């Protein structure tokens, strides 16, 4: 009887170990390519998880897809040099950063119709919504600044002088926004209520931080760095906890809160997948092959699928990456 119990316990432990390994393992690949008509540049993608929509920047308009059927359902035109899309679903508002016109277009996510256009600093690029202040922050790549917009009224609340060229950003949900200064290799902590920079942290050994994601629960920032590493940073102290190797020309980072996987999409045509073993310990899981220039990405937290945009043989398309 004792031997039987021992064998049963061993079998259960083995099953648990296999399940844990499976959770940390990879197995991601490109499962579908969605062709989209038209030509032009591209940049960020954004997902509205509640409405099940994917917003894709594309030249002078935003393409909108249903992320369950993977069908193209509409577009938001007249967004010249579009870079990013931010969403405030509870307010029924969406925001598009227009790099060529130095404006933000406010639109209705239900109808995709433009509501207003707001002036920003020069060449707005990354754009995010901060739920703690109900403000949208457009980071002006040509103006070394961030324009804060009240999401409900659409009025400019103020401008934050960043003293450097901004890249991507993340909000912690508690009233602070973090932003990378790529050329200076700095991480900024911005008080979203007072509209001032409170901390300027060096990111070494990460050089040229570009992309960013956040684990809000554990106060960890994940910075994709052009020096071929991802840096894990304590959001309160600014301390770089560790770095891990990633591919070349990273431009987007995403964190899956359920699987604890961190994805870094690289312009060389790969995604580096990293697992969060604990808040201070991480391990590389796999490198997923995509396509050259597929460097921007959005993650669907419901299905755990990734969406990337690129061109292949002159055809603009969205790649779906999953298991």
Q: Where are the domains of the chain?
A: 78-202
For residue 25, what pLDDT band results from cuts at 50, 70 and 90? low
**Residue 23 scores a pLDDT above 70:** no
For residue 135, what pLDDT band results from cuts at 50, 70 and 90? very high
**Residue 13 scores a pLDDT above 70:** no
Query: What's the rounded Cα separation, in Å, for the pair 238 and 171?
Result: 15
pLDDT at 6: 45
Averaged pLDDT, 46-75: 98
pLDDT, mean over the chain: 94
**Residue 76 scores a pLDDT above 60:** yes
**Residue 318 scores a pLDDT above 90:** yes
**Residue 5 scores a pLDDT above 70:** no
**Residue 235 scores a pLDDT above 90:** yes
pLDDT at 24: 63
Query: What's the rounded Cα separation, in Å, for the pair 59 and 294?
Result: 15
pLDDT in tens, 260-293: 999 999 999 999 999 999 999 999 999 999 999 9
Among 241, 227, 240, CA closest to 281: 241
Strands of the 103-107 sheet, one edge to the other: 82-88, 93-98, 103-107, 114-119
**Residue 15 scores a pLDDT above 90:** no
Q: Taking the domain 78-202, which CATH number applies?
A: 2.130.10.10
pLDDT at 19: 46
Residue 123 tokens read as 């060449």
pLDDT in tens, 159-183: 999 999 999 999 999 999 999 999 9
For residue 146, what pLDDT band results from cuts at 50, 70 and 90? very high
For residue 26, what pLDDT band results from cuts at 50, 70 and 90? confident
Q: What percent of the chain has a predicted confidence (pLDDT) above 90?
A: 91
**Residue 93 scores a pLDDT above 70:** yes
Beta pairing class for 220-225 and 196-202: unpaired
Among 95, 92, 96, 67, CA closest to 79: 96
**Residue 7 scores a pLDDT above 80:** no
pLDDT at 11: 46
**Residue 20 scores a pLDDT above 80:** no
**Residue 10 scores a pLDDT above 90:** no
**Residue 189 scores a pLDDT above 90:** yes
For residue 42, what pLDDT band results from cuts at 50, 70 and 90? very high
């Amino acid at each position: 009887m004792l031997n039987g119990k021992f064998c049963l316990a061993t079998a259960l432990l083995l099953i648990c170990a296999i399940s844990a390994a499976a959770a940390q393992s990879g197995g991601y690949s490109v499962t579908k390519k969605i062709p989209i008509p038209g030509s032009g540049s591209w940049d960020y993608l954004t997902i509205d998880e509640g409405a099940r929509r994917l917003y894709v920047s594309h030249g002078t308009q935003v393409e909108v897809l249903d992320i369950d059927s993977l069908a193209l359902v509409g577009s938001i035109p007249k967004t010249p040099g579009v870079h990013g899309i931010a969403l405030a679903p509870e307010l029924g508002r969406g925001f598009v950063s227009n790099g060529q016109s130095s404006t933000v277009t406010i639109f209705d996510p239900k109808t995709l119709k433009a509501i207003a256009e707001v002036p920003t600093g020069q060449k707005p690029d990354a754009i995010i919504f901060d739920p703690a202040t109900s403000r949208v922050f457009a980071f002006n790549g040509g103006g070394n600044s961030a324009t804060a917009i009240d999401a409900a009224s659409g009025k400019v609340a103020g401008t934050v002088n960043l003293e450097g060229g901004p890249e991507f950003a993340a909000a912690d949900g508690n009233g602070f926004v973090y932003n990378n200064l790529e050329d200076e290799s700095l991480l900024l902590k911005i008080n979203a209520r007072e509209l001032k920079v409170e901390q300027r942290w060096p990111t070494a050994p990460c050089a040229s931080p570009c992309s960013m994601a956040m684990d809000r629960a554990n106060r960890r920032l994940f910075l994709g760095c052009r020096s071929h590493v991802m840096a894990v940073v304590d959001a309160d102290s600014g301390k770089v906890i560790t770095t891990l190797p990633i591919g070349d020309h990273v431009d987007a980072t995403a964190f899956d809160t359920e699987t604890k996987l961190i994805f870094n999409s690289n312009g060389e045509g790969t995604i580096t997948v990293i697992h969060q073993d604990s808040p201070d310990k991480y391990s590389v899981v796999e490198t997923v092959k995509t396509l050259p220039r597929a460097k921007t990405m959005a993650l669907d937290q419901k299905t755990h699928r990734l969406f990337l945009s690129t061109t292949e043989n002159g055809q603009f398309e969205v790649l779906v990456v999953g298991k």
